[in-house]
Amino acid sequence: MNKSIVFSHIRKTSIKHFLLPIIPLGLAFFLLAFLPFKEVFYPIEVSSSQEAIEQFHNGANYVIVNPEKIYYSGYDIMKGDTVDGVYYYDIASDSKCFFYYLDEAKGNIIEAGKNTGIFVKFEKSDGLFENMLELLSSTIDWDYNDLEKITVKEIMVQADNQIWKYQLTFAAILFIIVYCGCMFLSNMIYAIVPVLHPAIRRVKRYNKYKSYKAMSEDLDYQVVTDILEAGGMYITEKYFINLGAFYVDIIPLNEIVFVYEHSKIRNFSNLHFKISYTLNVKGKKKFRCACPGKSKEDIDIIQQYFIDNMPNILVGYSDENRKATIENIKNRKKKER
């Protein structure tokens, strides 16, 4: 045989699998580039409100600012009965007025000191801020229009409570990149070198084939001369082989101890219900597989063969069969020690 049936199927399924993570990988790299992780984790530090606004105009979204002195405005923003935030202001030497929105009041005056920088993000003023500004002008006996003219429209909002969200998002993105990257690389390797596929390596160790070529020829012979075939599942002289749409599984028949069907109802937009069937095959020495996307008829054919021809294999899910399978595997391990 010039073209290996089993190895060719491994290549096809591996190509499908290494294409799957491309979209989540692309999305993860997009978020990594789009979200301001560098600014949040390594923010620019400035020593005045004016410098902070200059950094905003240069494209910064987050900075640590350590103003010389800021004053409590006397106005808080409430959410129900709790304080959501408080306004502080800073009037620079050039008569510009800058506003801070902090999580809580920290006295009438906050002065600069060591390690007292405020981590802030920039937000545009809104109608609520304009109302506060009008009330503040009355409190400090300023004309509202004069105060409004010198007030910088960007508010510096304390953002300490947002750092953990970025840390969690960054960790999730890294996990997606590592997981999908490993999935992409491993399946690309299996597509190029199918002998490295886990199913092949497991069978090679079990039957101690002299070479991968000899194993490939034997597996193909088993498939071609199968005893029974149903829905891509083959029962051969030596093996149960599943050549599924996305998976390849090979289990020696004399290792199988438990076979059962699992069904699941899928709901499509509350309009259409479909039952999906999976054949689960459990064996000794960590041989096991799930064969999803099979028809009820195909699964019944396979199960009936085991019932009729291999009475030592438990067929059908029940607590009794599950416990017997666990006990069977434990006893096998004891004998091998």
Domain final position from 118, 139, 158: 158
Q: Are residues 60 and 147 in the same domain?
A: yes
- The residues, any chain, with a CB within 8 Å of residue 135's CB and separated by 6 or more, are 75
Domain of 137? 37-158
CA atoms within 13 A on the CB side of 83: 12
Report if residue 249 sits inside a domain.
Answer: yes
Q: Are residues 324 and 247 in the same domain?
A: yes
Domain final position from 143, 158, 173: 158
Q: Are residues 52 and 140 in the same domain?
A: yes
**What's the pLDDT at 272?**
62
**What's the pLDDT at 1?**
44
Asked if 100 and 120 count as a contact pair (C-beta separation under 8 A), the reply is: yes
Report if residue 182 sits inside a domain.
Answer: no
Number of domains in the chain: 2
Q: Are residues 46 and 154 in the same domain?
A: yes
Per-residue pLDDT of the chain (337 residues; tens, 9 = 90+): 457 899 999 999 999 998 889 999 999 999 999 999 999 999 999 989 999 999 999 999 999 999 888 888 888 888 778 888 899 999 887 778 999 999 887 777 777 655 578 999 999 988 888 888 888 888 888 888 888 899 999 999 999 888 999 999 999 999 999 999 999 999 999 999 999 999 999 999 888 888 888 999 999 999 999 899 999 999 999 999 999 989 999 999 989 999 999 888 766 556 667 778 899 999 887 788 999 989 999 999 999 999 999 988 889 888 888 888 878 777 766 666 5
**What's the pLDDT at 333?**
67
Report if residue 24 sits inside a domain.
Answer: no
Domain final position from 132, 158, 184: 158
Q: Can you read off the two tokens belonging to residue 316?
A: 């059908």
Q: Are residues 231 and 130 in the same domain?
A: no
Q: Are residues 141 and 254 in the same domain?
A: no
* CB < 8 Å & 24+ apart, contacts of 234-237: 235/302, 235/305
Q: Are residues 42 and 150 in the same domain?
A: yes
Q: Are residues 141 and 42 in the same domain?
A: yes
